[in-house]
Amino acid sequence: MVISRQCPQRRIMATLRLPSGITKDQIDGSEKLTLYPGGIEAVNQFVLPSYAYGVKSSVVFAYFDKDDVLDAIGGNRFVRVYAVGKLKTGQFYYGSNTIRIFNPGRWPRWGNFRQWFGHWNRHHPCIQNRR
């Protein structure tokens, strides 16, 4: 996952697919998912049931404030993040991923539309080039 410091989106979404057998009813809804480093609590979250190969499980979607996440992580770098939640039994569940934080530089200069669009498509802060 890549997060651009210049992308105008205000939220970052984390998705956790829980192990088979853990259902929506087992998740403690009063405890929001927390992102580490930083201990940032989700702004909003919801849980959907998932059925794969006849086995029930759940998927947690959580939204975090992008500025809070970037302030907690600091710098432009690769970092391992952990999203931690809680079950009604008191047990915790978590997922992790390595993300890249970067600052793509300044916005492109205006030129004719073809030049601008080609430049925008290659340098837009929300699009990562995969060459």
Q: What are 37-67's pLDDT values in tens digits?
A: 999 999 999 999 888 778 778 899 999 999 9
Q: How many other C-beta atoms can be found within 10 angstroms of the C-beta atom of residue 106?
A: 8
> What domains are there in the chain, each with its CATH number?
2-123 (2.60.40)
What confidence score (pLDDT) does residue 22 get?
85
pLDDT in tens, the chain (131 residues): 788 888 888 999 999 988 888 888 899 988 999 999 999 999 999 999 888 778 778 899 999 999 999 999 888 889 999 999 999 999 999 999 998 888 876 554 555 555 545 554 555 555 554 44
Q: Is the dihedral of CA 48, 69, 77, 8 positive or negative?
A: positive
Separation of CA 90 from chain center: 24
